[in-house]
Amino acid sequence: MMLTTKGRYAVMAMADIAAQNGGVPVRLAEIAVRQGITVAYLEQIFSRLRRADLVKSIKGPGGGYVLADGAGEIKISDIIGAVDESIKMTRCGKRKSSKSGCVLGGKCLTHDLWDGLGLKIFEYLNSVSLADLCGRRIVEHPASQNIFSSAPERNDMAVI
């Protein structure tokens, strides 16, 4: 799975609204400037967020968008799902030759590995709310400091 700009920008825009004064409508043009996202792209994203009942549109002067629920109630997984991003790690169902599985209608050898990883990613995104994000209450995992430094260095060069 690779999260596309659509998913990342949706989270950024929702966090932008959540970080503003509570309940005050925020215009897409303001979000666009602060986040470096085009208004046209934000319009596409907010159309989906509105359909998913994550934001409400306020019409008229002083209008814009507000969160439909409190920032603590909106999970990052809700935002990702609203813009049709997939957290699925397997390739099942993506090819025409695959009717119910990864390869020729069956499960491939690595299916359970990727399926489990996708579940962990979803569980993590579902455990983080907009309030957590805006309050910087996401704890950095110590292993993320340098994920590749834990492997011992190999020196396979023969000294002559």
Q: Is residue 72, in this structure, part of any structural domain at all?
A: yes
> Domain residues for 111?
5-139
Question: How far is C-alpha 90 from the geometric centre of its chain's CA atoms?
Answer: 17
Q: pLDDT of 4-47, one tens digit each? A: 889 999 999 999 999 986 778 999 999 999 999 999 999 999 99
Q: Is residue 157, in this structure, part of any structural domain at all?
A: no
Q: Report the percentage of the chain scoring pLDDT > 70.
A: 76
Give the pLDDT of residue 139. 67
Give the pLDDT of residue 128. 94
Q: Is residue 160, in this structure, part of any structural domain at all?
A: no
Q: pLDDT of 63-82, one tens digit each? A: 899 999 999 999 999 999 99
Q: pLDDT of 79-91, one tens digit each? A: 999 998 777 777 6
Report the predicted TM-score, pTM, of the whole model to 2 decimal places: 0.77
Number of domains, the chain: 1
Q: Is residue 153, in this structure, part of any structural domain at all?
A: no
Is pLDDT above 50 for 160?
no
Give the separation between CA 69 and CA 123, rounded to whole angstroms.
Answer: 21
Q: Is residue 87, in this structure, part of any structural domain at all?
A: yes
For every residue of 61-118, DSSP letters joined together read TT-EEEESS-TTT-BHHHHHHHTT-----S-TTSSTT-SSSSBTTB--TTHHHHHHHH
Give the pLDDT of residue 109. 83
Give the pLDDT of residue 150. 52
**In Å, how far are 53, 73, 85, 99, 114 from 96, measured between CA atoms?**
33, 38, 20, 7, 20
Q: Is residue 159, in this structure, part of any structural domain at all?
A: no
Residue 98 confidence class, pLDDT cut points 50, 70, 90: very low
CATH code of the domain containing 113? 1.10.10.10
Question: How far is C-alpha 82 from the geometric centre of its chain's CA atoms?
Answer: 10
How many C-beta atoms surround the C-beta of residue 134 within 10 A? 17
